[in-house]
């Protein structure tokens, strides 16, 4: 009885099928990666309340309104627990600055929203507080990140040229970020000159 012979040479159909499957395997990771959501996440720690918040506020090209109440509460006026809708442009600026710093620490926040009453009290006591501060509009944040180089945040924000960036090398140094007109300053020099820092 004659033994069957094994044909080790693939047919044209097998070559095409295998080639297409292999090409699909090469293409699939790129397709999956392109379909994966692109996200912006803020990691914050309030130096005044001790609260921490890690939140993805933007995904797939859109801000996520369902995250706003948590963000607004975290950035509230701690003196009277009042909130305002914080500017999404401010969130984007904070995220962008954080991405460009070498520090992996969270953003340590100090002052976000300020009610008019709080701002008036602070302006009466401190020359560095503007009477028409962007803090009252939810457009500013005072923060730090690397305690060994607080000025790093300022240098990064200054290089972006988006909104206001002020460096306050006081006994408790911090950086002021806002999404008003572009401008930079180092305390005790006045802000951008429009009394809105």
pLDDT in tens, 1-30: 555 444 555 554 454 444 444 444 444 444
State the pLDDT at residue 37.
55
State the pLDDT at residue 168.
94
State the pLDDT at residue 20.
43
CA 98 to chain CA centroid, nearest Å = 6
Q: Hey, what's the torsion of the CAs at 24, 27, 31, 33, to 10 degrees?
A: 130
Strand 52-59 versus strand 39-46 pairing type: antiparallel
| Residue segments in the chain with a per-residue pLDDT below the cut of 50 | 4-6, 12-13, 15-34, 36, 194-196
Span 47-186 CATH architecture:
2-Layer Sandwich (3.30)
């Amino acid at each position: 009885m004659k033994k069957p012979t094994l044909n080790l040479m693939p047919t044209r159909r097998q070559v095409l099928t295998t080639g297409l499957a292999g090409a699909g395997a090469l293409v699939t990771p790129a397709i999956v990666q392109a379909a994966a959501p692109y996200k912006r996440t803020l990691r914050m720690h309030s130096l005044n309340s001790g609260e921490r918040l890690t939140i993805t506020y933007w995904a797939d090209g859109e801000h996520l309104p369902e995250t706003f109440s948590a963000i607004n509460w975290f950035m509230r006026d701690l003196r009277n627990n009042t909130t305002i809708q914080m500017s999404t442009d401010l969130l984007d600026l904070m995220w962008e600055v954080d991405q460009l710093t070498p520090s992996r620490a969270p953003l340590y926040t100090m002052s976000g929203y300020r009610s008019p009453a709080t701002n008036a009290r602070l302006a009466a006591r401190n020359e560095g507080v503007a009477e028409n501060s962007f803090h009252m509009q939810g457009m500013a944040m005072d923060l730090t990140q690397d305690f060994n180089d607080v000025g790093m945040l300022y240098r990064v924000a200054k290089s972006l040229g988006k909104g206001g960036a002020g460096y306050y090398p006081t006994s408790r140094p911090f950086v002021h970020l806002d999404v008003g007109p572009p401008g930079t300053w180092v305390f005790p020099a006045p802000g951008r000159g429009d009394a809105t820092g």
